[in-house]
Amino acid sequence: MSSETHNISVYSEIGKLKSVLLHCPGEEVENIVPDYLRRLLFDEIIYLEQARREHNQFADILRNEGVEVIYLTDLMAEILINPDIRREFLKELMVEGKAVTEGLQEAILEYLDDFSPKELISKCIAGIKQEDLKHIKPKELGDMVKNAYPFYLDPIPNLYFQRDPFAAIGRGISLNVMANETRNRETLFAKYIFNYHPGFKNIPRWYNRDKTHPIEGGDILVLSEKVLAIGISDRTSPVAVERLAYNLLSSREPIDTVLAFDIPKTRAYMHLDTVFTMVDYDQFTIFPGIEDPLDVYSITRGEKNQLKIKYEHKDLSHVLKEYLKLPAVNLIRCGDGDPIAASREQWSDGSNTLAVSPGKVVCYNRNIVTNNALRKNHIEVLEFDSYELSRGRGGPRCMSMPLYRESI
């Protein structure tokens, strides 16, 4: 197993990106069928070959910018060399995937027994079909009853959105609780990486996956070394925001303010970063549809180890100026002010930019109007193809988890 140390250090959204975690889509997206789209949280079927071409373009852009690209499957394969960890992981994966009967578990373990660590992790992500298991020795009623559903273990097709299962904040992480049961197995991979990989030792956790209230990484934006923004969204609970804030503000981290953005609870705006991202020291992309209903709350340290929570009555620009200590803030609107273009391009993640350094961002090439608006505001835009990846309703920021950014 590689013992190379991968320090976590993320104190901004725009500091030069040095290291990032990705997952290139695999067989799991080919196991999405129309009858189970909603169950797996997809709106459309994805063509894998093209999706992989696009994802490789994305990774190449990052490498060309000097970013170390680390793949989730490589880290997991290094961990699963250890037979004890392998068995522990598989037992937990089966339980969380509701494959709980004794006969089924024995059949799955037997089927996977000869897989290499790399093959094993790919198969766990792809899902285990009924046709994969030749025979289940029935030991319980659940082993005997016929079931028309084609999988014993569901595929995990949302895993190419690496932003959500955990979030790097400062020198620690939030190991998240996903809002939908379908996605909760995704956080198992991060749990095992941060428990067992020698490259990630003693990383503090500001939140953990054993908690009761959901929070997802797409709602977490590190605006500066002092300010964290978290969306209260369709996928993130205000209870989780407050608990994460308490743990973080009670630590030795320099972050002293958490701004909670209460955004509309709809699938189109499922996370804060689908409607708002940071592209430069004083510039942000925003979907104009959230501006009027947006409420912002500031959370700071109070007296006697309590939190101080305040409703911010000013508009978003003034709140950002105040807490980021900026003379002015420029909000670059998705669609460049055209409501039709804004709605269309927000659907394909026009506001979901990934900054590789201040004023330089990676974007889908399909969002022409918004990308040109960024360029008009002196933002350098690096584009890649987006025919298939965008069908999953997530953009470049959604697909990446920065592990290390230079301080700014």
**CA–CA separation, 74 vs 199, rounded Å?**
12
Q: Compute the radius of gyration of the chain from its Cα atoms.
A: 21
Tell me which residue of 62, 141, 110, 160 sits closest to 356, measured CA to CA.
Answer: 62
Return the CATH fold of 56-71+158-405: L-arginine/glycine Amidinotransferase; Chain A (3.75.10)
**CA–CA separation, 69 vs 379, rounded Å?**
23
Tell me which residue of 196, 174, 198, 200 sits closest to 187, measured CA to CA.
Answer: 174
State CA 365 to chain mean position distance: 21
Please indicate whether residue 124 is annotated as part of the active site. Answer: no
pLDDT in the model for residue 382 = 98
Both structure tokens of 68 = 């170390």
The DSSP string of 175-232 is E-B-SSHHHHTHHHHHHHHHHH-TTS-S--EEE-TTSSS-B-GGGEEE-SSSEEEEEE
Could you tell me where the beta strands, DSSP code E, fall in 27-106? 68-71
pLDDT in the model for residue 136 = 84
In contact, 106 and 59? CB cutoff 8 Å: no
**CA–CA separation, 151 vs 145, rounded Å?**
14
Q: What CA–CA distances, in Å, run from 97 to 89, 93, 154, 181?
A: 12, 6, 7, 9
pLDDT in the model for residue 308 = 96
pLDDT in the model for residue 264 = 79
In contact, 196 and 2? CB cutoff 8 Å: no
Candidate list 124, 334, 363, 398, residue with the active-site label: 398
pLDDT in the model for residue 1 = 54
pLDDT in the model for residue 207 = 97
Mean pLDDT per segment of 10 residues, for the chain of length 408 residues? 74 98 95 80 87 98 98 97 97 94 94 96 95 85 80 93 96 95 92 96 94 95 98 95 97 97 79 95 93 89 91 92 96 94 92 97 97 98 96 94 96
**DSSP state letter for 14:** S
In contact, 51 and 396? CB cutoff 8 Å: no
In contact, 354 and 400? CB cutoff 8 Å: yes
- The whole model's pTM is what? 0.94
Distance spanning both ends of the chain, measured CA to CA = 33
Q: Where are the domains of the chain?
A: 56-71+158-405
